Amino acid sequence: MNYLIVDNLQIYAYHGAIPTENKVGGEYSISLKIGYDFSQAARMDSLKDAINYAEICELIRKEMKQPSQLIENVAWRIQQTILSKYPQIETMETTIRKMHPPVPFPMEAAAVVLNYTKE
């Protein structure tokens, strides 16, 4: 399997179950590991046969702009949006890390990981 990896995309967004999170916002880190056959793109040096990671980042940014209570929902929406644009994707792992969540404990991040495998 070949992979395209978007690693640690930093976005400020407004997600959370606590009303303050939707007003103040917070920092998020998003990573994707996309499995697909890019052998043709590699051989031909052709973007038309590849998945464009700049477009992937823009799709992520657009979904992150829509507030949600749960980052699980955001991860699902990101995957659905990307899969609708790139049906050649065979597997995808989406990780969203909510940096410094509002809990009364020292914590770097809370995260969700959502996996997709084409049937």
Contact 48, 88 (CB under 8 A): no
Quote the longest CA-to-CA distance of the chain: 53
Contact 50, 38 (CB under 8 A): yes
Report, as ranges of residue numbers, the positions in the chain whose pLDDT lies below 70: none
Mean pLDDT, the chain, as a whole number?
96
| Distance (Å, whole) CA 12 – CA 10 | 7
Contact 101, 28 (CB under 8 A): no
| Distance (Å, whole) CA 86 – CA 15 | 26
0.85 surpassed by pTM: yes
For the chain, domains (ranges, CATH) are: 3-117 (3.30.1130.10)
Angle, vertex CA 78, rays to CA 104 and CA 113, nearest 5: 50
Length of the chain: 119
The predicted pLDDT at position 24 comes to: 92
Per-residue model confidence as pLDDT tens digits over 55-81: 999 999 999 999 999 999 999 999 999
